[in-house]
Amino acid sequence: MATLPLEVKITLSKSTDVFEPGKYEVKPCTVRTSHATKPPVDLFIVTPIAKGTYPVLLFCHGFLLPNNGYSNLLKHIASHGYIVVAPQVTPPSTSQGSRESISKVTQWLSQGLPLVLPEKVNPDISNLALSGHSRGGKTAFALALGRLDKRCHKKKKSPIRDNPNLPKFKALIGIDPVAGRAISNRGPPRILEYIPRCFNMSVPVAVIGTGYGNQSAAPLIGIPPCAPDGVNHSEFFNESKPPACYFLAREYGHCDMLDDWIADLLIFSKSGKGRDHMRKCVGGIVVAFLKTYLEGDEKDLDVIVSDPGVAPTTLDPVIYVKSEKC
C-alpha cells in the first residue's frame, strides 16, 4: 500500500470515554418484513430508549453472517446516542442483491423507521452514516460510490448521493472491508482500481483493519485468509480521498468484533485474545468518527490519533489525512 501523508491535529487532552459504554440505555429489536411498515428485508435495530432525536448509522453485515451477530458492537455504538439499523441481506442474496436491498432500506428509513422506534425517540435521517464489515464493508463503499450495477467499473452510474430519493451519507466506516478472494477474483462491482485517492466521493472515510485478517487460521489444510492482501483494508484506505482515517488493530482477526457465540463458530478466521477489547476498540473508533463528522465534535478522534495508546487494543499504524495536499 502506498502510504498517505500523515496530517493530524494534536490536542492537550489525552482522555476519551468512547471505548466505554455510553450514557444511554439501549434496546435491540428485530423488525421483520411482515411488519406493517413493510421493510424490504428483516432489520436488527439498536436504539437509545430515552426521549430525543438521534443520528442514524446503517450497518452492513459480512458475507453469510447474521446481522444480530454484531449485537455487542452495535449496542456499544448506540449507547453513545446513535440509532443503528442493520439489514439482513444474506443468505441467500447475491452481492448485487445486497446492494439493492440496502439501497431500498435507505428509502424506507424516513417513513418506516420512526414507526418502529420507542415512544418519543426520533431518527435524524439528515444525519445518516454508513458502515459495514468484511464484504459488507465493500457493500457500504459501493453504496457511497453509487455503484449498484453489475457492469464493468469503467461504466459508472451517477453517484447515489445525487439521487434526490435517497438520503446523503455524511460518514463512511469500513470495518476490515474485503473486495474479494484475490485481486484477480473480485465480484462486481470492481470498485478497487489500485490508484491512490481514486474513489469518486466526498464523504469522510474511516477504515479499521485487522492484523490477522490476511493470515489463514489453517494454512496446512488450504483454508485461505478472510481478508487477503490486495483486496483488504489497506487498499480501501489507499483509494479513499481525504478526510480519511486508518486504524490497524494489529493483534486481532477478521471476525473478532463479532459476538462470541458466532465468532467461536468461525474456526477459519484467525483470532486474537479477548474479543471484548476488540469490540470496544472498534466501537470507540466508530463513535469518535461519528461524533466528528455528524456532530462536529473532533475531540475524541483527535485524542485517539494523537495517542493510540488510549485504545484497549494496539493500534499501529494510525493515519489521519484531513485534506488534499497542494
Active site residues: 134, 176, 254
Residues facing 208 on adjacent strands: 175, 247
151/171 Cα distance (integer angstroms): 26
Residues 303, 237: Cα–Cα separation, whole Å: 20
CB 31 within 8 A of CB 115: no
For the record, the C-alpha cell of 75 comes out as 449496542
For residue 173, give every residue at least 6 positions away whose Cβ sits within 8 Å of its Cβ, in sequence order, or none.
129, 130, 131, 132, 140, 205, 206, 207, 208, 285, 286, 289, 290
Strand ranges for the chain from DSSP E: 26-31, 43-48, 52-60, 83-87, 121-133, 169-175, 180-182, 185-186, 205-210, 244-249, 315-321
- 5: burial class by Cβ within 10 Å (0-12, 13-18, 19+)? exposed
Is 176:269 a contact under the CB 8 Å cutoff? no
CB 129 within 8 A of CB 55: yes
Q: Which residues contact 243 (CB under 8 A, 6 or more apart)?
A: 204, 205, 293, 320, 321, 322, 323
Distance CA 299, CA 15 (A): 9
Can the peptide bond before residue 177 be classed as cis, meaning omega within 30 degrees of 0? no
The residue assigned the cell 473508533 is: 285
